[in-house]
Amino acid sequence: MLRRLIYLAIITALTACSPDISDFNVVPFPTHISPKAGAFDLNESTAIVVADQSDQELAQLAAYAAELLELELGLPLPAQTTTTHPGTPNTIGLVLSEDATDNESYTIEATAEAVLVRAATHAGLFYGLQTLRQLPRSRADQPPGNSNGSDWYIPAVVIEDAPRFSYRGMHLDVGRHFFPVEFVKRYIDLIAMYKMNRFHWHLTEDQGWRIEIEKYPRLTEVGAYRKETILEQNFDPYVGDGIPYGGFYNKDEIREVVAHAKSRYVTVVPEIEMPGHSLGALAAYPELACTNGPFEVATVWGIHEDIYCPKEETFAFLEDVLTEVMEVFPGTYIHVGGDEAPKVRWEESTLAQEVMEREGLEDEHALQSYFIRRIESFLRARGRQLIGWDEILEGGLAPEATVMSWRGTAGGIEAAKQGHDVIMTPTSHVYFDYYQGNPDNEPLAIGGYTPLQEVYEFEPVPSELSPDEAQHILGAQGNVWTEYMKTTDYVEYMVFPRAIALSEVVWSPKEARDWDAFARRLQPQLEWLDHFAVNYRVPQVDGLESDRLTLDDRATIALTTLLPNATIRYTTDGSDPTVESTSYSQPQVLPVDENGVTITARAFLASGMSSPPSRARIRRTSLRVAEGIGDGQLESGLEYAYYETQVESIHDLSGLTPIRTGVTSDVQSEEVVRDEQFGTRFEGFLKVPESGVYSFYLTSDDGSSLIIGDETVVDNDGFHGLTEVSGQIALEAGYHPLTLLYFQAGGGKGLQLTVQAPGQEQQFDPQSWLYHMPGR
Ligand code: ACM
C-alpha cells in the first residue's frame, strides 16, 4: 500500500510540471518549441475564429482547421468570422501578421485562455494548422482525477517554425499505371498534411501519354492506351497479361487537380518527357521519330531506343504541347525529363547528323544538350523555368535550368558547383519504388532497398559543397515510379510512412534530426492516417533479420517493433501469424530440434492493420573442428592472387592466371585493387579465440564470397552496388582455412569483412585474425 502511495505521488508530480519538448509528437518536428505551464481546454464551445471578414481564403482555412480538429478530437468546433479581437477566451484564432520573416513560417501560442496561430501568409497559416492538429492530448490517456470536465487540452506552448528547404516534393508516375483524379487529389491532401509543397506529376511515358492536348488529339486517342502490360518481371521470355490498359486526364480534370493543389498550398510541377521515354507520343505521331515506325505504346518497362528526332517538326510539336501545358499549370517550373535517352537512333539518322553538322555539335550528347537548351529558351521566354533529370547536365546547360539529381548525388554536386539550382532525389534514399523490407516478405517491387530509417537519415546538402554552393540545394523529393504499383493501395503502401520520414528531412532543422525521437513520434502519425484509411506499411518486427545457427537445443528470440501500441504475434511452424497467434511480450527461449525452427512474426495494430511478416530460420549445428596447426607455423596476412579482367561472377575467376600474387593484410590495398575490371582471390587461415557461433558480414561492390573450410558462409556474388550479406558458422577455437573472393566490374567499388564473435555485440574488422602459411 505504501508503495502504491509513493507511485501516485510521483505521477502527480510529473503531470503537474510543464511537459518536455519530447512530449510533442509533431512531424515534421518544429524549429522551436517552448513548453509553458498550464493548458488550453478544448470543448464544444471552443471556436475557431478569424477576424478579417473580407478574406475568403482565411475563412476557408478556419473551416479546414475545424475539419482537421474534428478528425482528431471527434468534436465539431464552430469556425467563425468574428469582430472580436483574436485571443478572446476559448478561441483558436488564425491571424495574418506582418512580423514573420519567411513566407512559409508560422508561430503558435497556446495559453490557458486562447490559442493563436500567426503567419505572414495563408500558406504559413496552413502549416501552422498542420502542427496545431497534432497538439491536442486526451485526459483519458492520463491518470484519473485530473479532469475538470474537458477530455481534451492543448498544453501551453510557444512554437516558432519555418521550413529548412523551399522545395519539398513528392512525385507520382501516372504513365506506367494510371490513377484517377480523386486519388491524385487525395495524394496531394496527404503530402500537404506533412508540409510538402510540390507535387511532381509525371504525365508522359513510353507506356502511356496521360494529358489531353487539344491540338494533338491522337496523343490521348492512341498514345494513352497500350494493348497489354508485361506480367510481373517476365522480360525474357516476355509474357504479357493480355489486358488492354490506359487512361488520361482531360483539361478540366487537370485544372481540378491544380486548383485542389492550390487550396493545399501545393504547386504542381508537370513533367512532359523528352527526348526519351516518348513512345506514347511516337505511337500517335510517328513522324516525330527518326525512323518510319510504326510504333506501339510500350508494354514493357525499361529504356526504349525510339525517341524524338531533333527535327523542326518535333520542336514545333513540343512547343505547341508546352504552350497548352503552361495554360493549365501556372507554376514556374516545367519538368522536361531528359533522362535515359539512348542515342542509337540519332547516330543512324541522316537528319540528326545534319543538325549536328549545322549546329557544330561534337556528338549526340551535345545534340541532346542542344535539344534541351532550345526548349529551355522557349520556356524562359514565357517566364517559366526548366527542370530536368541530371542527364541534362551532359554537354552543357543554360544556367537558369534546375537539375534533379537522381543517379546519386554526383549530378547535384556538379550542377550546384556550376551554379544551377538543384533538387535532390537520389535513388540511394528517396526512390519509394524500392523495397522497404526483405524482398522475400514484400510485394513485388522494382528492386533496391530503402528502409524507413535510410530515408530519415538522408542529408540533402552534400558535404562536398561550400556554403555558397549549398544555397543551390533547394530541397528534395521522393520519387514514386509505378511499374509495379498497379493500385492506389499499393502506391500508399510504398509512400507511407516513408514520405513522413522525408517530410522531416526537408522541413525540420538539420540539428533536430534524431531517428529514435522520430520513431517515437511515428505511431501517432499512423493513427492520423487511419482517419483516411491510408494503406500505409506497418513497420515490420525487428529481430529476425537473418537466419541463425545454434549449438544448443534451444535459442533465444528477442523481437521489437517501432510502434509501442502494436502487438507482436509469432509462429514457430513457418505459417504466417494471424490475430490468433501467440503474442510476444519478452525474449523467449524456444526449443530447436534436429529440423530447426522457423520464427515468423508480424506486428498487429488495433485498427486491424498488420506489418509484412519477418522470418528467420534457426538451425542446429556442430563445431567445425580446427586444423592441427601450431601458433608458430603461420604468419599474419593473407595470400592473394590478383586478376585484371572483366568477369561477371566470382566463379569466373577460377582457372584464370593472376597478374600478381603476394601477401597482404589489407583487402583493399593498392596491390589488389584498381578502379574497375579486376578480381582478387585471398587465401589463408582464420584464427578464432574461442569455440562458438561466429557471424560474418561481407560488404562489397560488386560481388564477393566467403568460404571457410569447404562451406560457403557468405554468398554476396553478382553485379551490384555496395551490399552487405551475412552468414554464420560454428567454429572450434583455433585455425580454419579461409578463402575470400571478390570482383569489381565497373562503377563504385568496395570490400569489407567484419565479424561478430559469440556472445558479443559489436562487429569488428578481423584483420588480426588472418594468417597464411609462409613459403607455400
Ligand atoms: C529516373 O528515375 N529515370 C529519373
pLDDT at 759 over 90: no
Please tell me the distance between residue 572's alpha carbon and the centre of ligand 1 in angstroms: 42
Task: Report the separation in Å between the CA atom of 404 and the middle of ligand 1, taken as the mean of its atom positions.
Answer: 9
With a 6 Å cutoff on the Cβ, whether 406 touches ligand 1 is yes
Q: Would you state the pLDDT for residue 22? A: 80
312-328 vs 251-263: helix axis angle to the nearest 10?
50
For residues 444-469, give the mean pLDDT: 96
- Mean of pLDDT over the chain: 93
- Ligand 1 binding pocket includes 427 (Cβ within 6 Å): no
- Report the range of poorest mean pLDDT among 143-147, 221-225, 242-246: 143-147
Q: Is the CB of 434 under 6 A from ligand 1?
A: no
- In the prediction, which pLDDT does 76 show? 87
C-alpha cell at 460: 540533402
Strand, coil or helix: what is 78? coil
Under the banding of pLDDT at 50, 70 and 90, the label for residue 280 is: very high
Pairing of β 79-81 and β 723-731: unpaired
The pLDDT of 458-472, averaged and rounded, is 97
Q: How far from chain centre, in Å, is Cα 437?
A: 12
Rounded Cα distance between 224 and 56, Å, is 39
- pLDDT at position 52: 81
Counting ligand 1 atoms within 8 A of each CB, the residue from 207, 335, 389 with the most, and so the one to mutate, is: 389
How much is the pLDDT for 83?
67
Q: E strands along 145-197, which residues?
A: 152-161, 167-173
742 grid coordinates:
571478390
pLDDT of residue 85: 72
**Atom from ligand 1 closest to the CA of residue 277:** 3
Would the CB of 340 count as within 6 Å of ligand 1?
A: yes
**pLDDT tens for residues 642-683?**
999 999 999 999 989 999 999 999 999 989 999 889 999 999
DSSP annotation string for 300-314: S-S--S--B---HHH
Place 1 in a pLDDT band, splitting at 50, 70 and 90: very low
Q: Point out which residues pair with 155 in neighbouring strands.
A: 39
- 3-class DSSP state of 369: helix
Spatial CA neighbour of 584 closest among 600, 565, 570, 605: 570
Residue 147 pLDDT? 46
Range with top average pLDDT, 1-5, 207-211, 446-450: 207-211
481 CA closest ligand 1 atom index: 2
pLDDT for 635 beyond 90: yes
Return the top range by mean pLDDT from 90-104, 132-146, 369-383.
369-383
The pLDDT of residue 715 is above 50: yes
**Cα distances (angstroms) measured from residue 359 to each of 352, 400, 749:** 11, 21, 39
Tell how far CA 2 is from the center of its chain.
52
Q: Cell 478574406 identifies what position?
A: 55
Percent of the chain with pLDDT over 90: 85
The H or E element containing residue 390 is none
Nearest atom within ligand 1 for CA of residue 404? 4
Grid coordinates representing 227?
Answer: 494493348
Kindly state if the Cβ of 339 falls inside 6 Å of ligand 1. yes
Tell which one of 206, 481, 482, 483 to mutate to probe ligand 1, the residue whose CB is within 8 A of the most ligand atoms.
481
pTM given for the model: 0.90
